[in-house]
Amino acid sequence: MSLDPVTLAVIQSGLVQVCNEMDIAFSRAAFSPVIAEANDRSDGLYGWADGALIAQGELGLPVFVGTMQDSAKAVIGKIAAGETAAPEPEDVYIVNDPYLGGTHLMDVRFVKPFFHRGEPFCWLANTGHWPDIGGAVPGGFSASATEIEQEGLRLPPVKLFKRGRMDPEIYAIVMSNIRVADQRIGDIRAQAAALEVGARRLGALLDRYGRDLVEEAIELLRAAAARQMRAKIAALPEGSWRSTAWVDSDGVVDEPLAIQLRVTKAGDRLVFDFAGSSPPCQGPMNSVIATTRSSVYLAVKHIWPEVPINAGLFEPLEIVDPQGTFLHAEYPRPVSGCAAEVSQRIAEAVFAALVQAVPERVTAAPAGTSGNFALGGFDPERRRSYVMYHITGGGYGGNARTDGLAYGCSTIGISKSAPLEVMEQQYPILFEEYALREGSGGAGRQRGGMGLRYAVTLRRGTANASFVMDHGRFGPQGVLGGEDGARNRIEIAYQDGRRETPKHLSKAQNIRIAAGDTIRIETPGGGGYGDPAKRDPKLVARDRRRGYLVD
C-alpha cells in the first residue's frame, strides 16, 4: 500500500493533534497552578516494541521529547524482564525514577498501553510536574541534597491503574510520602484523563484510516524526519566546533562545573562529545543520561525548527556517552537540578558551538534558568498547609537579524509563569513588583533581551523558601563579539532590615521567612550577538528613550 502526500500530511497532523488534545485536557483538568496555568507538562505517542517517539504535542515541554522516549523504553524493558506486570487494556503505569529515562523526581510520568480492537498498537505517555514529591524540602528542589533519597519519593514502573481502576495500595504509598497529599488527587485524575482522551482520539484516527495505513505513515514520517535532518547536517561546513558552558555550583561545593563540548560533522551525522566535562558532583546538579540526550535534541530543534519531531530527528545525532562526568548521573547521585538547569547549560553549549558553523541560525545564550522557587508553609487563615512552586524565564539571546526577546520562557520548554492573581489567590503571598529588568540584556550588534525583576512578600504565617536557579556566577554568554547578559540575583529582605544573599548565589534551601519578609529575584538577560560597536546608533537611541538601558 502506498500513501499519497496529502493523506500522509493529514495523518501526520492527526497524530500531533492527538497529543495536542492530551496536553490541553491535562492542563484544563489539573488542580495545581504549575500544570493548570504554567503548563509544565507534555504528552506523546511512542512505539509499542521500542518506545521510539511517534509524535509529541506542540504545546508540551521540549525537554521531555527525549526523556519520555527513554522512559517508555525503560517500561518496556522492565516488562520484558518480568520486573513489572505485563500490560492490559486501560492500565496506566506510574514512574518517576530519573535513572529510568527521567529528569527529576517531581516530573512524574504516566505510561498507558494502547490497544486497537484488542491488539497492541503503541504507548501513550505524559509527564506532569507535581508541586511536591516529598524529600527534605517542600517542592523537591533540595539545593544541597547529596543523594537521591533526600530529594523525594522514587517510583519504579508500577501499575497505578489496573484495567481502569486505581490501585488503592499504590495510591496510599504515594500519598503517604508527599506533602499536601489531599490536593494531588486532582492532578492524578487529570493526568490519567489526558491519556484517555488521547486513546479515544487515536482510536478514531485508526478507525478512519485503518491500522495498516497509519503504521505505514508512521514509518514514512520517521524516515522523512531523518532524511531532513541529514540534509541539514550535510549542508554544514566540514569541521569541529568547541564550546564551554558553566554551571554556577552544585549547591554543596562552591565551585563551578564545566560542560566541555565538541561537535563534529561526520558526513551527514553530528557527533556530540562532552569529554573533559566536570566529574560527578556532590550536589543536585548532576544530569541523568536521558536528560543530557534530550537537551541536545531540543537545542538542535531550536536551530532547525522545521524538522518534524519524531524518532527520525534523533537518528543522525550521535551523543558520545559522557561516562565519568556529571552529565551521566548514576544512583545515588542527586539530580533535582538536571531538567530545569543543567539541561539549559547543555543547550547553551550546543548553541555556542554551532553558532560558529551556522551563525545565521543560532542565537546568543538565552537566560537559561527556570528560576525554580518553592515556598512551603502553613496558612493560618485557611488553616491548611501549602507548597507553592513558581517558575520564571528571562531574556533571549540576540541573533543575526533581531534583538533578543524580553522575558521569554526558558530554553527547555514553553511553560509560562502562572498568573500573579492566581498565585496570590492560592497562597498567602503578595507580589510587590513584577517588571522587566532594564539593562540586563548583553550588548551587541543585536542586544540580548531583558530578564525579569520581581518581589514577593509573605502575608501571613511562616514558610520555608528554596531556590534552584543558575547563571548567578556567569551571565548568559554573548557570541561573535557580543557581551554576556546580566546574572541571576536573589535577595531576602527581612522585616528587621537585614538583607541576605545565598552563599551559592542562586541556590539555597529551607530559608525561614515570616510574615512581612520579602524575596527579590532578578532573572538573567540574554547574551548579545556581534560587536556592540556595530549596533545602529538609532537603535541605541531608541533603547535609551524607552528606558531599556541603565547608565
For the segment 393-406, what is each residue's pLDDT rounded down to a tens digit?
Answer: 999 999 999 999 99
**The pLDDT of residue 66:** 80
What distance in Å separates the CA atoms of residue 113 and residue 121, rounded to the nearest whole number?
A: 8
Strand-strand pairing, 317-319 and 158-162: unpaired
The sign of the dihedral angle between the CA atoms of 346, 349, 351, 357 is negative
**The pLDDT of residue 550:** 62
Positions in the chain short of pLDDT 70: 1, 550-551
**The pLDDT of residue 544:** 86
**The pLDDT of residue 437:** 96
**The pLDDT of residue 182:** 85
What distance in Å separates the CA atoms of residue 437 and residue 106, rounded to the nearest whole number?
A: 29
Which residues does 168 contact at the CB level (< 8 Å), separation at least 6? Answer: none
CA 535 to centroid of chain Cα atoms: 33
Q: What residue type is assigned to position 342 of the chain?
A: V
**The pLDDT of residue 414:** 77
> Can you tell me whether residue 20 is helix, strand or coil?
helix
Give the residue carrying C-alpha cell 522545521. Answer: 306
What distance in Å separates the CA atoms of residue 442 and residue 395, rounded to the nearest whole number?
A: 9
547: left (phi over 0), alpha (psi -120 to 50) or beta: left
Please state the pTM of the whole predicted model. Answer: 0.96
Residue by residue, DSSP assigns 137-206 as STTS--TT--SGGGG-----SEEEEETTEE-HHHHHHHHTTSTTGGGHHHHHHHHHHHHHHHHHHHHHHH
Per-residue model confidence as pLDDT tens digits over 459-517: 999 999 999 999 999 999 999 999 999 999 999 999 999 999 999 999 999 999 999 99
